Structure 1
Amino acid sequence: MVCSKCEKKLAKNAPSAPDPWKAGASNTMAGGGRKINENKMLSKKDRYSPYGAAGKKCATCKSMLNKDGMFCHTCAYTKGVCEMCGVQIQDTKNYKQSNK
């Protein structure tokens, strides 16, 4: 659950920059080229990390988050708050909820 203010943040896309075909390409022979029989997993310096370098965690259950925010989806739904900013969205006083 995300509030309307944070929903606008999710809708933003990164601006596309012009990408010339040969400028900065790693598979061309002009800029040193690529090595033959190279293991890409060992040679790559900045590996992709699905959870980010910071390793953000949920404020309640301390599970890893895969996007910017304060709460995981389960905790946010149980409390009735926004995942990203923590603003109260729903009144869960009369709900019968559990984490089991």
Structure 2
Amino acid sequence: MVCEKCEKKLSKVIVPDKWKEGASNTTESGGRKINENKLLSKKNRSMDPYGSTKCIICKQQVHQNAKYCHTCAYSKGVCAMCGKQVLDTKLYKQSNV
């Protein structure tokens, strides 16, 4: 659960582009080289797949540079990335199961 402002900060999902024209992952448009060594090219390698950040409350690993994991963010009613109050959970019946 993220607020509208942080929704723009969410990173893109790595999937192939649908259309061949202008796609960055096809060989026809010049976006990808054949037999390219990925260790040597290191183009846009800022993604950390194992998540180096941890939730403030439960210390569980989180993704996309968030402060709270999904469970803690929903139970507190806050944005997972910035911590802003998004939802009023005062009248919710929640358990820690």
Q: TM-score, with normalisation over the residues of structure 2? A: 0.63
Name which one, 1 or 2, has greater alpha-carbon Rg. Answer: 1
Query: Which residue of structure 2 lines up, in the alignment, with residue 2 of structure 1?
Result: 2
Q: Which runs of no fewer than 5 residues in structure 1 stay unpaired?
A: 27-43
Misfit runs of 4+, over 2 Å: 18-22
Query: Which residue of structure 1 lines up, in the alignment, with residue 80 of structure 2?
Result: 83
Please show how residues 1-100 of structure 1 align to structure 2 within 5 Å.
1-10=1-10, 19=31, 21=33, 25-26=36-37, 50-52=49-51, 55-100=52-97
Contact 1:51 1:67 in 2 (8 A): no
Identity of aligned residues (%): 53
Which secondary structure state, in structure 2, belongs to the residue aligned with residue 9 of structure 1?
A: coil
Q: Distance in 1 between matches of 2:64 and 2:12?
A: 14
The alignment covers a number of residue pairs equal to: 77
CA RMSD in angstroms comes to 3.1
